[in-house]
Structure 1
Amino acid sequence: MEAKNIQQILLKRAYEEVEVFEEGMNRFRVFTPFMFGDGDHISVVLKKEREQWILSDEGDTLSHLSLLGVSENVLYGTRCDLVNGILEEFNTENRGGELVVRV
């Protein structure tokens, strides 16, 4: 199997399994097939803030990681640069524990 075929299969599957439900004015819950290692789904909300649409985890990712024993100190200690580099690579902002991507 070639990489292009694998990419098409993954994109098709992800596309088919994404669902969007309106939760209020300018706010939508986005359900995806993506999960944490323990089987909980990754929480995603699409919402409008000050004329800007954003995707947000509303703090769920870091909260979930802390429940799994990953210390929030990783964002402030010696690994802070590594974490910030990963977030930057994916155009993601850490707003006090809430991971946000502008769309």
Structure 2
Amino acid sequence: MTTSAPPRSGAGRTAPSAPSQRVMWCALAGVLLVCALAVLVDALVAVRVLGVELAVLAVVRLVAPPPGPVGVTARSKAFDVVFLAVAALAVLALSLAPNIAPA
């Protein structure tokens, strides 16, 4: 008489893949680029790059499948997208204000 052993837990199943951290590392690289631009080139250029980065992160958060990219997801998708888009628009609008750059 042969008895088969009960299946081990997880046998035959693939482990769920860990969420990709690519977006988080790209966002961090963007922030480091903004810091380098502010020091080496011009603060106004750095602020505009920051505004573009925030807009790109808003779009990424909008189109990413649930649960969302690591490092960008904080609350609900709607909250994250609105917050990032408003921040991007505010930063870009303020960077276009007259007399912002020293003469």
- Output the TM-score relative to the length of structure 2: 0.26
More strand by share: 1
Q: Which has the larger radius of gyration?
A: 2
More helix by share: 2
Greater RCO, CA 8 A, separation 6+: 2
- Output the TM-score relative to the length of structure 1: 0.26
